[in-house]
Amino acid sequence: MNIRDIMRASKVMPVIVIERIEDAVPLAQALVAGGIRVLEVTLRTPVALAAVRAIAAAVPDAIVGVGTVTRPEQFAEAKAAGAVFAVTPGLTEALAQAAKAADIALLPGVMTPSEVIAALGWGFDAMKLFPAEQAGGLGMLKAMAGPFADVLFCPTGGVTVESAPRFLALPNVGCVGGSWLVPKDRIAAGDWRAVTQLAREAAAL
């Protein structure tokens, strides 16, 4: 799957933080049950790669990837764990090369026109706008559509269930990312029913 296929598979990409490995599979199952198949597991916790491995093995309907990738070696590690895509908060040449070497689909993070130009130069035409609200939100994306009409964005950072439809209505937005459908307290409580309900709402956007 290339990154545009993955963006097409879900209008909302949940940004997941797994603290306890035993939460990984039930959380993924809860999201998939609600209609959200594309899952970004952030590499922010010690169990993140083990969580990717567990989800890839036990939840065949999930399309699992990793987020918060900031070091080149993480692409190969993520792929070995079963990730089919990776998301970065920003992009450097070292990261671009390592993603290509690992042969993993990449959604690179950008926040300025110069960063968009650099990402295009490294061969990427789908990008995460991060942090989306802080970067200018809807107005920023509308302005980017002028010079970068062929770039498809996934705004992430500050997006909510209320603001998501306004982002998704823009022609240069393929999907949005957000943590709102995987609230920390619901995961800690093991409240998978609530997660499925949030996923259902997100899938219906």
Ligand X SMILES: O=C(O)C(=O)C[C@H](O)[C@H](O)COP(=O)(O)O
**Interface with ligand X (CB under 6 A):** 15, 42, 67-68, 87, 89, 130, 156-159, 177-179
Q: Which is nearer to ligand X, 136 or 150 (CB)?
A: 136
DSSP 127-188: EEETTHHHHTHHHHHHHHTTTTTT-EEEEBSS--TTTHHHHHTSTTB--EEESTTS-HHHHH
CB 12 within 8 A of CB 200: no
Q: How far is the CB of 42 from ligand X (least distance, A)?
A: 5
Among 11, 79, 128, 133, the one annotated catalytic? 128
Q: Which is nearer to ligand X, 73 or 146 (CB)?
A: 73
C-alpha separations of 69 from 146, 184, 187 in Å: 29, 21, 22
Q: Which is nearer to ligand X, 144 or 164 (CB)?
A: 164
Among 11, 19, 22, 40, the one annotated catalytic? 40
Q: How far is the CB of 21 from ligand X (least distance, A)?
A: 19
Question: What does the CA dihedral 179, 201, 25, 86 come to, rounded to 10 degrees?
Answer: -50
Given strand 126-129, what is the order of strands in its sheet? Answer: 109-110, 126-129, 152-155
Q: How far is the CB of 123 from ligand X (least distance, A)?
A: 20
Q: Which is nearer to ligand X, 137 or 157 (CB)?
A: 157
Would residue 22 show up in a list of annotated catalytic residues for this protein?
no
Would residue 128 show up in a list of annotated catalytic residues for this protein?
yes
What residues are annotated to the active site? 40, 128
